[in-house]
Structures are given as structure tokens and as C-alpha cells.
Structure 1
Amino acid sequence: MQHKTELLQKIEDRTATVGIIGMGYVGLPLAVVLAEAGLTVVGIDLDEDKAQAINQGESYIEDVPAKTVRSLVDAGRLSATTDFSVLQNCDAVSICVPTPLRKTGDPDISYILDATQKIAAHLHPGMLIILESTTYPGTTTEVILPMLMHQEDMVPGENFFLCFSPERVDPGREDWTTRNTPKVLGGVTANCLVAGTALYGAAMETIVPVSSTESAEMVKLLENTFRAVNIGLVNEVLLMCDKLGLDAWEIIDAAATKPFGFMKFTPGPGLGGHCIPIDPLYLSWKLKTMNYTARFIELASEINTSMPRYWVTRVQDELNEAGKPVKDSKILILGVAYKKNISDLRESPALDILHLLAEKGALISYHDPYVPSFNHDEIELVSEPDLNSALTEADCVVIVTDHDSYDWEAIAEKARLIVDTRHVVERCGC
């Protein structure tokens, strides 16, 4: 109990030092919130450029203002390094590393394993470890815990503490942030939960405790499976309405007038981002190891991943109606980020659409105010510098990401032909 008492006192006194492994879209906002609460935070990242940027008071995350980083660095409450040896001086550490899928569809937890190995090398009595990276139920207790118990005298809940708390970051949001989004937290033991609650409760408005780390891991997967399945549903509604000659958006808008029993989701070009296309497949993989098929997840994934090909077929059909083949047609993609008003390209359906059009011989280009250039699987492009010229020169404009900065009325006037995956042109009455 002495270690727990000492850790809780340090957190209360704001003398605790917290390490954050992985200073990306989850780690940096978390570091800032903890530092703003008066704790001393050290960010740890293999990317030297990120560490240098933070130490110079700069921000590379759109949701974190540079002036906030600068003020915390100047106050001595935030710093960053590539040296994992700083963990020996940390009272707590949060793991915020990526968890992608392998090409085989299996979870890739190599970043979690690497971070845990680094922590294990510097694990000391009284240390609190919280995993934030999305993963399958059982990772914390089945994978991380044994790695941390390599020392015989290290017992969870007695002389070190281990929790799981799923990140709930939604890039680009201003209403729900790291501070005010309720924080789900599960501990390996009751004492672990108390320690984790004390740390995150010092900086965040609402802590939602659950009975175990497995429950906390499952919460995150349920949240994103819910979205993936419902998006898959409305994407299939779009496909069905296309066959029936009906306007899917009119039908969805009308259904959304029901004040109960319906939640509005809209069709689009497919799923993108760090969570929704990937996280449900972690759960599906886990269930396969138990001889169970997660049928909703598999079907939703199949539908959602097919949407880029559907929209490319729509482009082909629209060009045919205009008497043009896809081959050698100038096709301009508007927006390549996975959602509006951010620069994140991860799993963006725009990339699939670009590749499919390129395979058909189209002369592809793009414009995105948030993405000046990109290189993806041998396609290297720079955003068109003059949007007006690009619009008038294009044989077809494909709207993939509906950034708020776009003037849809002007785009509708200048473009010869539009394929609108987001339904924004008709929605604005253009």
C-alpha cells in the first residue's frame, strides 16, 4: 500500500512526472492536458523531428495550438526526447503508439511490444503504466502484464500499477477534446484502477471506471464497430437506392426526422482514418481465434472497402454519358484527407479512388487545402496551386472530402462534370 499512497500523494501535489510514449495525434494532446493540470510531462518519440519541435515550442498537431505548447515548455512542464532512459525518473507512463493492421489483416501490436520492453527495462516500484493504444481484448493482461512481471518481486496492484484507457480523440473537433471527453478506464487490480483514476482525474473532467482492462479494451472496439456497421448500412442503402432509382440522401434525411429510434449516418466514399476502418477488425481477428465469426463486422468491412470502386464506376458512367472514356480524361479529386478540415491521410478512401482511376489510364490530379503534397504507393502528387484553373480544365471533378473552406457554388459553376461522394453540391442547393 505504501507505493500506492506515495504515488497518489505525488499526483495530488503535482510533483509526479509522467512519460508519454508516442507523441502523435493522441500523445501530444494528452501530454498538453496533463501538463496544463500542473504535472511534469516528458514526451518520448522515436521521431527526432517531433521531439525537437516540442522542445522549440512548436506543434505539428492541428488540434494543439503552438502557443499552448510554447507556454508549457517555457514553464518547464513539457519536454520531449528520443531517449527512453528518462522512464527511470517517471512516476507514470502512458503508451500512445499506433496499432495498424498487417497486410494479412492480423493486428500489428509491435509498437506496443516495443514500448513495453522499454518500460520493462526501467520499471521501478510505484510506477503506473496506462495503455491507450486501441487493441483487442486481453492485450493488457495477456501481453503487457507478463512482460512487466519479469522481476519476481513486481506484483501488479502492490508495487506497480497497470491500466487500459482507450483514446477517444476525434481530430478536428473543438467541442469534445481530451479534457472533456469522458475517459473510460480499467485496471488490472482495484489498486491499479485507483492509481489510474487519480492520474487522469487530475486533468480530465469525467472518468468512467469499468471492471477490468478487458472491458475497457472492448468499449473502444464497440464504439468504432458501431460506427463502421452503421456506415456500412447506409453505404449499402446507397447501393440499393441506386438500383431502385431512388435518392438515398432524400430517404436518409426524411428518416432522420423521426425523433426517436433512428440515428442519422450518411453514405460516402468509404472509411478512412486511424480507427473506424481498422479497430473492428481487431475484434474480428480475436473472435476468429475463438472459432467465432463476427459477421456484422466482416460484412460492414466488405461493403465499406468496396465504396471507392463504386464511385470510380460512377465516374466512368458519367464520363461515358458525356462521350468520354476514363482513359486520358483529366480527373480532379477534391479533398484527399480522410475527413473534412484535417490533413490526415491515413486509410483515406481518396487514395483508393486515385489508384483505381490511375489504373484505368485517367490523368489524375487533386486539390486539398490541408494536404500540399503526398506520396502513396508510387503515386506522388502535389495539390493543384490554382483551384479555379484546375476546375475548368478537368473533364470530371470528384468530390471526396467536403472541407468547409470550399465554395461549393463556385465549384458547381466552374466544373463541367461532378461526381459528388459527399452530396455537398446538391445539399447546398448549387
Structure 2
Amino acid sequence: MNILERIKSIQLKNCKIGVIGLGYVGLPLAVEKAKVGFEVVGFDIQQSRVELVNQGINYIGDVLDIELLTLVNEGKIEATTDYSRMADLDVVTICVPTPLDEYQQPDISYVKNSAKEVAKYLHPGMLVVLESTTYPGTTEEVLKPILESTGLVCGTDFYLAYSPERVDPGNKQFNTKNTPKVVGGITPQCTEVAAALYEQVLEGQVHKVSSPAVAEMEKILENTFRNINIALANEMAILCDRMGIDVWEVIDAAKTKPYGFMAFYPGPGLGGHCIPIDPWYLTWKAREYNYHTRLIEIAGEINNSMPEFVVERIGHLLNEEAKPIKYSNVLLLGVAYKKDIDDFRESPVLDIISMLEKKGAKVQFSDTHISEFSYRGQTYKGTSLTEDVLSNADIVVITTDHSEFDYKMIGENAKLIFDTRNAMKKIPVAHKLYRL
């Protein structure tokens, strides 16, 4: 099948599409592809996810329950752990995790294993797209050799491209469907075929770049930009605290400038699977070129230090009340790494809990999206947020500013509030309130 035939088949929705990895990126992408008429097969190594999808049961916040159930009932989406099903597919997108190992180096074993599975069933005319965030060079240096080990030639026999995921869990304005997409193929033909796919699926603009490396670097730049600017906001918060200046008022004042300033906000630390992790891919890759990414690493150090800073502030505030951290009742509001989601991956609140417990505090948490979670072999169960729970806490720490929290009740009943998210900005407080 030549390039024109492949593009035509995509435009006519005659292709069967596979999505490897049914998590926060893969499942929403699979749903969007099925909604426009493609037949989609999802692959995942977790049997529990496969069973949920095949029952039409949604577990991702950015997917509508009724949409998944309808698509499953219509036979547009199914899930499996059987990778031999790829033999019947025309397109495969890889959306698997790319974590860091214990040495802060990229672990692309999931990407490699996925590529090896695809290679077993690679056939002429197939399009393979990597969406997992990774370091520049992964598509060409890792995937291409694995796929070409079959004897098929990239750009001639099959098509290979990189298109970074741009998922922002909980974002009410931008989602998988309407967020612009960047696409870079190994060859111009690869780019054209991959772009044709996304043009059929998404409403957002498809922006073509000259190579996978450009697309890979673009994704790293996006999250490094946010990482560094959040680090600046966090450093300003630390300095403002020492100087007795309200950092939130400072940022609000700076926002009045109509150019040259973009507001970023401090917090208890970074979480999620992107901003705290992605910049380290580039730091690792830069060593290959004898370059030390100083700014990125300093930003990481600042952001990683915020949980400790929060615990220090908790200790100081309790001390003002003539109470030590040890044996004090500390109520944390929110475990998720950002508001209005149930994702606690890399959440700074986990470190805050560990540090407080090591100091002997009695820690409770309440989260409107997370009823319980496991961390380092221990299970934590949340508590309902009531007037009694609030009034019995020696300090209430707002660590995630969920919209569902009753901030009026919090302000009326908490004896001492430490707000790390500025959630109480316009809320009357009966007793004492301190902000980050």
C-alpha cells in the first residue's frame, strides 16, 4: 500500500487502530478515535484495565462514562492483553509510561517492549506513532532499529512518527480533542501519514515539524518551561515569607502588566507524571553532548524542596501556638497533585505526610476525589470533612484546592489554617489563617 492509499484509507475510516497503554493518555485517545468512526483495539498489560474497558466502565477523569459505554456497546472499542491482535491493525499508537529510575535516568523499557511487540506483527503500510514523553532521539535511535529489524524499511514499507501527548487532567477548556497536535515523522512521508490520522480525529490544529527529535524536544520544552517558572514562584514564596511580604499579592500586582509577564503560582511542590519528571530526560540526554543543564537542575532542586519547606512552616505555626509537631493533629486537605482530579502520582503531599509522621504528628487527610491510597506499603484512609474534624485539628493545611471543599465551613471551624494554594483568598476566617 503506497502513501496515497494509506492516507485515503485513513480519511475513509477504513483503518483499524491499536492503542498500547490505556492510562491517562491512551484511553482518552482511543475514545476520540472511536468517536469519529475508527475501530479501536486497546492493549494493556493490566488485566484489570482490560476488563473495565470491555465492560464499558470508565476510570479516567477526562473520559465521559456514557461515551465509553456507548462505544463499547457499539463494538467500536475493545481491550485486550493479546498483542497478536496487532496483526490485523493498520495503525498503532504507543502511549505507555516513561518513568525515571532511582538514578533519575529515563526508563524507556515500556517503550522498548511495546516496540518489540509491534515488530512481531509489523506489516507493509502500517503506521506506528509514539506518544509517550521521552528524550530527543528516542523514536529514531530506539524504535526505528527495533522495527527495521524485521527487514521492512521505514518510510518505504511502514511509517513511523512521534506526536507528544498533551493531556492536562482536570482542564475544563482543553482536552485531547481540541488541543493542537505536533507531529514529526522519520521521513516527510511518515509525517504526512501521521498528520492525516490526527486531522481525522482531532479538532485542534495539527502542526508538522521536520523530525521526531524536534517533536520530542518540543514536548520537553513545554514542561521544562513550566517547571522553571513554578520554581521561580516557589523561590519567591520562600523569600517573601522571610521578608514578611504576601507573595500572592505580589503576583496579583505583577499580573496587571499586559505584556512581558505570565503568572505562575507557588505551592507545596510539583506532582503528576509530567512536570516533575520530563525535564530530567533532557538533563540525562544533555550529558551525551557534554552539556550540564544547570537551570533545569536548580529548578528541580527548588521544587523538590517545597514539601520540606511546608513541613517547616507547619512546625513554626504550631510553635506559635505552644504546640510541637509531635502528637499534634494535622489535617491535610487534598492528596491529589492538582485540583479537581484523583491523580496522586508524584504528589508532594505524599512527602509531606511522610515527613510529618517521622516527626510524630498524627496525620489525617480529606480529599473529595481520593477516599484512600497506598504509599510505601501503607494504606491511608481519608476522613469526611466535618465541623468536628476541622475543630479537633491543631492545624488544617490546604494542600490541594479542590473546588468541592466547603471553604466557608473550613474558615468557620478550623482553629489554625495554613493555606498553600491561596484557596482561602476571599473566605472569611474565624480564627487564624496563614498562606504560603
Q: Please give the TM-score of this superposition, normalised by the length of structure 1.
A: 0.98
Q: Which residue of 1 aligns with 2:150?
A: 151
| Paired residue type of 1:197 | A
How do 1:156-171 and structure 2 match up within 5 A?
Answer: 156-171=154-169
The 10-residue stretch of structure 1 (282-291 or 158-167) with the greater mean CA deviation from structure 2:
282-291
Q: Which residue of 1 aligns with 2:178?
A: 180
Q: Which residue of 1 aligns with 2:433?
A: none
User: How far off its partner does 1:324 sit?
Assistant: 0.4
| Paired residue type of 2:335 | V
Alpha-carbon distance between aligned partners in 2 of 1:286 and 1:375, rounded to the nearest angstrom: 33
| Paired residue type of 2:336 | A
Q: Deviations over 1:273-295 (max 9, x none)?
A: 11000001111111122211111
Q: Residue 292 of structure 2: SS of its match in structure 1?
A: coil
| Paired residue type of 1:252 | I
Aligned residues: 428
How do 1:1-400 and structure 2 match up within 5 A?
Answer: 2-152=1-151, 154-205=152-203, 206-400=205-399
Q: Which residue of 1 aligns with 2:409?
A: 410
Q: Deviations over 1:29-57 (max 9, x none)?
A: 10011111111110001111111111111
| Paired residue type of 2:163 | S
Alpha-carbon distance between aligned partners in 1 of 2:303 and 2:219, rounded to the nearest angstrom: 20
What RMSD over aligned residues (CA atoms) do the two structures have, in Å?
A: 1.1
Q: Residue 201 of structure 2: SS of its match in structure 1?
A: coil
Q: Deviations over 1:402-430 (max 9, x none)?
A: 00011212102111111111121134454
Residue identity over aligned pairs, in percent, reads: 49
Structure 1 residues 379 and 418: CA distance shift in structure 2, 3 A: farther
Alpha-carbon distance between aligned partners in 1 of 2:58 and 2:9, rounded to the nearest angstrom: 28
Q: Could you tell me whether the CA contact under 8 Å between 2:412 and 2:428 is conserved in 1?
A: no
Q: Which residue of 1 aligns with 2:432?
A: none
Q: Residue 292 of structure 1: SS of its match in structure 2?
A: coil
Alpha-carbon distance between aligned partners in 2 of 1:208 and 1:9, rounded to the nearest angstrom: 20
Alpha-carbon distance between aligned partners in 2 of 1:65 and 1:10, rounded to the nearest angstrom: 28
User: How far off its partner does 1:163 sit?
Assistant: 0.3
Alpha-carbon distance between aligned partners in 1 of 2:317 and 2:243, rounded to the nearest angstrom: 18
User: How far off its partner does 1:385 sit?
Assistant: 3.0
Q: Deviations over 1:185-219 (max 9, x none)?
A: 00000110011011111111210101100000011
Q: Residue 276 of structure 2: SS of its match in structure 1?
A: coil
Q: Could you tell me whether the CA contact under 8 Å between 1:3 and 1:125 is conserved in 2?
A: no
User: How far off its partner does 1:231 sit?
Assistant: 0.1
Alpha-carbon distance between aligned partners in 2 of 1:221 and 1:387, rounded to the nearest angstrom: 42
User: How far off its partner does 1:100 sit?
Assistant: 0.6
Q: Residue 331 of structure 1: SS of its match in structure 2?
A: strand
Q: Which residue of 2 aligns with 1:426?
A: 425
| Paired residue type of 1:370 | H
Q: Deviations over 1:227-266 (max 9, x none)?
A: 0000000100111111222111111110111111100011
Where do 5+ consecutive residues of structure 2 fail to align? 430-436
Where do 5+ consecutive residues of structure 1 fail to align? none
Q: Please give the TM-score of this superposition, normalised by the length of structure 2.
A: 0.96
User: How far off its partner does 1:386 sit?
Assistant: 4.6
Q: Could you tell me whether the CA contact under 8 Å between 2:332 and 2:363 is conserved in 1?
A: yes
Alpha-carbon distance between aligned partners in 2 of 1:251 and 1:386, rounded to the nearest angstrom: 32
Alpha-carbon distance between aligned partners in 1 of 2:170 and 2:99, rounded to the nearest angstrom: 21
Q: Residue 424 of structure 1: SS of its match in structure 2?
A: coil
Q: Could you tell me whether the CA contact under 8 Å between 1:334 and 1:367 is conserved in 2?
A: yes
Q: Residue 17 of structure 2: SS of its match in structure 1?
A: strand
Q: Residue 425 of structure 1: SS of its match in structure 2?
A: coil
Alpha-carbon distance between aligned partners in 2 of 1:178 and 1:60, rounded to the nearest angstrom: 16
Q: Residue 375 of structure 1: SS of its match in structure 2?
A: strand
Alpha-carbon distance between aligned partners in 1 of 2:13 and 2:261, rounded to the nearest angstrom: 45
